[in-house]
Structure 1
Amino acid sequence: MATAKQGDTISIHYTGKIEDGTVFDSSEGGKPLEFTIGEGELIQGLEQGVIGMAAGESRIIAIPAELAYGPREEERVFEFPKDKIGENINLEIGQQVQMFRADGMPVMATIIGKSETSYTMDCNHPLAGKTLIFETRLLQIL
């Protein structure tokens, strides 16, 4: 029986969880995820984890932060003055906003705190620093 290898296009169903069991994404009940192994379309650990699977096979893949969204970096958390945002804009904790780096590239930031004069912004990916658990089922090698 053929197994998935580098360069193959495959379709899978998956459920992604963090270590405490909280689900952050799933294709179950929806359209399967289709991708080519090794093209860099997904996090590295998931692409590596499906290699060797056969159609119909299920596998649980534990992916360390280094092969997912990287480590959490404290230098990506900073204070942003409220007066640079605008008078009539009130951001709430947990809200995501698009900001721009010095080079003009967009970056998403999550509001994690606020005071009278500033917001605390976190530009880390929400899953940075976390081990991810993917329950996968290979549907087919295309």
Structure 2
Amino acid sequence: MNTLAVAVGEGTRVFLNFSVSLEDGSEVDTNFGAEPVDFVVGDGSLLPGFEQRLIGMAPGERQLFKVPPEDAFGQPNDNNVQVMSRQHFDDDAGLEIGVMFAFADAAGGELPGLVVAFDDAEVTVDFNHPLAGRNILFDVLIHRVEPAELH
């Protein structure tokens, strides 16, 4: 092993491949088979619960982590399920249970919402993250770790 190898930690840039999947084996996201992505530890690119599990890993190391909801996308919050008037949706909006719509949030950004119920008068939309309440399998292969200031 290279004596200059650095372990993942504060002040490092990490190059990795990863996959995120659910316990039933369905893959949510992956970059295996593509070029590694990189991030600087603490830059907010990864959720803290994912980033924390990488600390101490070395180049060439691969691990599979089971990340509980509290360290991933949180638990569903009943306050994030909203009932709206059907008038907020165009007649040709294609309302169906399971359809995702983008809504404007207070800051002018986009907030995805999942239609969970509707009738002639109201539409119930769930704004919880689609992975809230789920255990996440986080498969990681570290390619390179270097001091962040070299990049």
Which residue in the other structure is 2:144 paired with? 140
Which residue in the other structure is 1:34 paired with? 38
Selected match of 1:69 from 59, 68, 73 = 73
1:1-142 superposed matches below 5 A: 1-102=5-106, 104-142=108-146
Q: Which amino acid aligns with 2:77?
A: E
Identical counterparts, % of pairs: 28
Q: By how many angstroms is 1:57 displaced?
A: 0.5
Q: Name structure 1 gaps, 5 residues minimum.
A: none
Q: Output the TM-score relative to the length of structure 2.
A: 0.84
Q: Distance in 2 between matches of 1:30 and 1:80?
A: 42
1:86-129 per-residue CA deviation (whole Å, 9 max, x = no partner) reads 33333222221111345655321011222222222110011111
Partner-residue secondary structure (3-state), 1:48: helix
Partner-residue secondary structure (3-state), 1:83: helix
Q: By how many angstroms is 1:72 displaced?
A: 0.7
Aligned-residue Cα RMSD (Å) equals 1.8
- 100-109 or 34-43: which moved more? 100-109
- 121-130 or 90-99: which moved more? 90-99
Q: By how many angstroms is 1:39 displaced?
A: 1.6
